[in-house]
Amino acid sequence: MCEISDSLVRLVDAPLLAAARWSNNEVLETNNLEPMDDSKHPALDAAALPARSGTGYPAPFNAPCAGREKRALGRAFGLTDYGVNLVTLPPGTWSSQRHWHSQEDELIYVLEGAPVLVTDAGRTPLGPGMCAGFPAGSGDGHHLRNETDRPVVYLEVGSRRPDDEVEYPDIDMRLAGRAQGDRFRRKDGTPYD
């Protein structure tokens, strides 16, 4: 990928530069620099997307994750095979209850902060530039905890399988797949109200 020189940045204002497109990963096309319709734009400011706070977990399992914010980056572009979320964990917040997916692969990449990854193997401190992956059906319950006084920001990537079920090894909860209405249930199958 080529670099944009400082002089080009000064010559082209930000909205026009945002609408510019790369061609063959080498040359910046500056033809037709009319801003694109927002609904068809191939790039956006992730911070401008609406944030979803908390989780859909029933009480009391929702409490440790109440401050978590997710911005659905993949959904903003109409991606359907996999999801990408920009996640922020304020101090003292968990990413989720410890869990694993039956059919979905999952990967996280830390952008800011110092979360602790908790898995069946124990606790692993993470930092910016570190990542962790969890293959579907691994049975390795995992989550992140922000035990610091600064926010943690990371990317979360996962496949979107309608037949996926989620197991929560530490609590009396499981999630039936999307095909079954994404309902949280107790391990004996009774739904939470």
Residue type, 192: Y
- Give the burial string for 25-46 (b: 16+ CB within 10 Å, else e): eeeeeeeebeeeeeeeeeeeee
pLDDT digits (tens, 9 = 90+) for 93-149: 999 999 999 999 999 999 999 999 999 999 999 999 999 999 999 999 999 999 999
Residue 58 maps to a domain: yes
pLDDT at 162: 85
- pLDDT computed for residue 1 by the predictor: 32
Establish if 113 belongs to a structural domain: yes
The Cα angle at residue 58 between residues 52 and 60, in degrees rounded to 5? 105
Q: Which amino acid is at 16?
A: L
For the chain, state the CA radius of gyration.
20
Residue that is written with structure tokens 């992140």 in the block: 144
pLDDT at residue 5, as a whole number:
34
Pair (63, 127) in one structural domain: yes
Is the same domain home to 119 and 92?
Answer: yes
**How far is residue 179's CA from residue 5's CA, in Å, rounded to a whole number?**
50
**In-domain check, residue 160:** yes
- Is 161 a domain residue? yes
Residues 113 and 29 in one domain: no
- What domain range includes position 85? 46-185
The enclosing domain of 124 has a CATH number of 2.60.120.10
Predicted pLDDT at 178: 64
> What's the token pair of residue 183?
């309902």
Global pTM value: 0.77
State residue 119's pLDDT score: 97
- Tell me which residue of 61, 58, 152 sits closest to 98, measured CA to CA: 61
Neighbours of 5 (CB within 10 A): 9
Burial class (CB in 10 A: 0-12, 13-18, 19+), 179: exposed
Q: Does 147 reside within a domain?
A: yes
Shared domain check, 141 and 79: yes
* Residues of the chain where predicted confidence (pLDDT) is lower than 50: 1-37
CB 145 within 8 A of CB 118: yes
Q: Is 75 within the bounds of a domain? A: yes
Which tokens is 11 given?
């010559």
pLDDT at residue 127 in the model: 98
175 & 128 share domain: yes
